Structure 1
Amino acid sequence: MMNSSIEESVLCADIGGSHITAAVIDVTRQTMISNTIVRHKIDAHAAAKVILAEWARALKAAQACWGKKCDHLAISMPGPFDYDKGISLIKGLDKYDALFGMDIKREFATELMLPTESIWFMNDAEAFLRGEASQDSNKHYKSVLGLTLGTGLGAAFFQEGTVTDLNLGSSSFLNGIAEDYISSRGILAYYRMLGGIKATDVKTLVNGISTDMKAIQAIQQLAKWLADFLSQHVPVWNPDLIIIGGNISKAHALFLPTVSDILEGRGIHVPIKVATMGEHAAMLGASSLVKIKK
């Protein structure tokens, strides 16, 4: 039983390929304590000690805003990752190569002075979908396919209260895996293949779309890739709803209508919604580990 306010508060973080967002969660009310939210940019190509130091700095800043020491830490983390042991298995994905094989759980335990048994990790796509599925507007759906589009491609499936990481980003797609195409690096690689030179990241690509024909073509290609990917997997999982999140989903108006049109033309009539909670969903989802594990 969690009786005190300290035990009811959990330090959480959503770690992505270019950021960390940390906050304290009230797990009893399933709400984020707004004045504790801290977001830092991360250089995913930096040395291990630089990455770990920045992650720790964000977590400590969020806890300092709360003014109390949290007894539990829950992290939404991209894969591949050994979520039980807390060991990074990320390699060759254009992010966090320097952390490969490292015991991230022990690093956090040392920095935050917590026992390792009070630190938990959850796959980022699973955490995202747990958070989104808990919203009142989504509770009436029996099954939901959740995708996170960002530096990588995450996928999870919700059915009758259970969320499963599908790892579809590593599924076979075209000449590689899905994440090679449906991700920031996939969009940028296609843009550069077309001869695009103005945009250095997806945000600048999207912002320049009104004057950059190559950017328009890259976003159109993303729509086609995503439609092909969903055409491959939706019939297998047969969800009642698809929820799209991640940083790329912020530009949903530029590609999701095309995705929906293509799917409708192929006889796939599943509604697609854009996630409403942003990174908060992943942190709320990860915080559920405290109740599950306790």
Structure 2
Amino acid sequence: MIPVLEIGGTHVTAALVDLPGRRVVHRIRSPLDPHGGAGDILEGIRRCAAGAPAPRGARWGVAVPGPFDYVKGIALFAGVGKFEALYGVDVRAALLGGVWRRPGDVVFLNDAHAFLAGEWCGGAARGHRRAVGVTLGTGVGSAFLADGLIREDGSGVPPGGRMDLTEVGGRPLEDSVSRRAILVRYGDPAADVRDIADRARAGEERARRVLADALTLLGAALGPRLAAFGATALVVGGSMARSWDLVSPALRGGLASGGWVPDDGESGDGPDGTQPPGAPAGAARHTRAVVPAGSADDAALIGAARAAATG
């Protein structure tokens, strides 16, 4: 069993992963205050990790959002609205003894990279040679994968594979597509994104328009890059993907306007772009699939375990 941590914008998950079986066999999830002090954040991670019965001497895989120095294990959070108290902290050293026993007992990787690698192993990107993943939550995470390997450069790939650094209209993408951007535009300090989604389903035009505009813009920014990269799948994860009924139409429209026209198939598609079992004979293969995460909360954990096993 491979022990893993997945650190999100407001939570941390510790788990054990059976990598050959692509299964999460033990999981514990705890809240994190992204605006708390460094000591509190690190102690929260340490307590959560203690709940996973890691094999003695095992190497941990740790999925963490950027900006972060994944080789050195140093947090570089600044200007992203979370974990800024950790800026400059050597997380590898800070958790030494409390989580892992030796500096080499941990492999850090970007959480979006872990997510897409996990989806490629056994989720919605399985069977696709070239796939892109985005995670929509407190910010926009992204990953580009070809033949099972994460790519950080090449045709269509933004620097470092980071769509959050892409500028749209002279401003960073996350100024328009992120939890904070959506809340600012909606203008109700008592509402969260989930509340806005509920109001959009209930027919509130302002809520529907705020979400649709953000997701259409995201699709328009992604479209040219997916086309240049030759992607046959876009996999969407993160908390906002749970509102797939609202995310999908606007995102697909934006992708089409950006030159990457999705096939007509929707959520019933098989994860490898083929029709699911029982589909009519001769049904067309989907060569440009837009799908929600197939492994739910497991993808990043499986991807982190894969990194620990190979890294």
| Structure 1, unaligned runs of 5 or more | 1-8
SS at match of 1:11: strand
Cα deviation 1:66-102 (Å, max 9, x = unaligned): 7x54622111110111101100011110001000000
Corresponding residue of 1:283: 301
Farther off after superposition, 223-232 or 110-119: 223-232
Corresponding residue of 2:90: 103
- Give the deviation of 1:205 after TM superposition: 2.2
Q: Confirm or deny: 8 A CA contact 1:127 1:283 kept in the other structure.
A: yes
Corresponding residue of 1:207: 198
CA 1:136/1:80 → structure 2, altered by over 3 Å: closer, same or farther?
closer
Amino acid at match of 2:73: G
Q: Confirm or deny: 8 A CA contact 2:164 2:174 kept in the other structure.
A: yes
CA 1:91/1:216 → structure 2, altered by over 3 Å: closer, same or farther?
same
Q: Mapping of 1:1-294 within 5 angstroms?
A: 9-33=1-25, 36-63=26-53, 68-69=55-56, 71-135=58-122, 138-165=125-152, 166-192=161-187, 196-199=188-191, 201-209=192-200, 210=202, 212-264=204-256, 267-269=259-261, 270-293=288-311
CA 1:73/1:129 → structure 2, altered by over 3 Å: closer, same or farther?
same
SS at match of 1:109: coil
Aligned equivalents of 1:11 and 1:113: distance in 2? 10
Cα deviation 1:19-72 (Å, max 9, x = unaligned): 111111123433211xx2111121100111111111111111122xx7x54622
TM-score normalized by structure 1? 0.87
Cα deviation 1:246-294 (Å, max 9, x = unaligned): 111111211311222343356522320111212311111011122213x
Cα deviation 1:147-179 (Å, max 9, x = unaligned): 111111111111112123511211222242112
Q: Confirm or deny: 8 A CA contact 1:109 1:119 kept in the other structure.
A: no
Backbone CA RMSD of aligned residues: 1.9
Aligned equivalents of 1:198 and 1:205: distance in 2? 10
CA 1:51/1:136 → structure 2, altered by over 3 Å: closer, same or farther?
closer
Amino acid at match of 1:46: G
Amino acid at match of 1:42: L
Aligned equivalents of 1:262 and 1:74: distance in 2? 35
Aligned equivalents of 1:173 and 1:243: distance in 2? 21
**Deviating 4+ runs (over 6 angstroms):** none
Aligned equivalents of 2:228 and 2:118: distance in 1? 23
Aligned equivalents of 1:228 and 1:76: distance in 2? 28
Amino acid at match of 2:209: Q
Aligned equivalents of 2:122 and 2:100: distance in 1? 33
| Structure 2, unaligned runs of 5 or more | 153-160, 262-287
Farther off after superposition, 246-255 or 97-106: 246-255
Amino acid at match of 1:91: A
In the alignment of these two chains, the number of paired residues is 276
Q: Confirm or deny: 8 A CA contact 1:79 1:89 kept in the other structure.
A: yes
Aligned equivalents of 1:94 and 1:137: distance in 2? 30
CA 1:70/1:28 → structure 2, altered by over 3 Å: closer, same or farther?
farther
Specify which structure has the higher proportion of helix.
1
Amino acid at match of 1:191: Y
Farther off after superposition, 178-187 or 144-153: 178-187
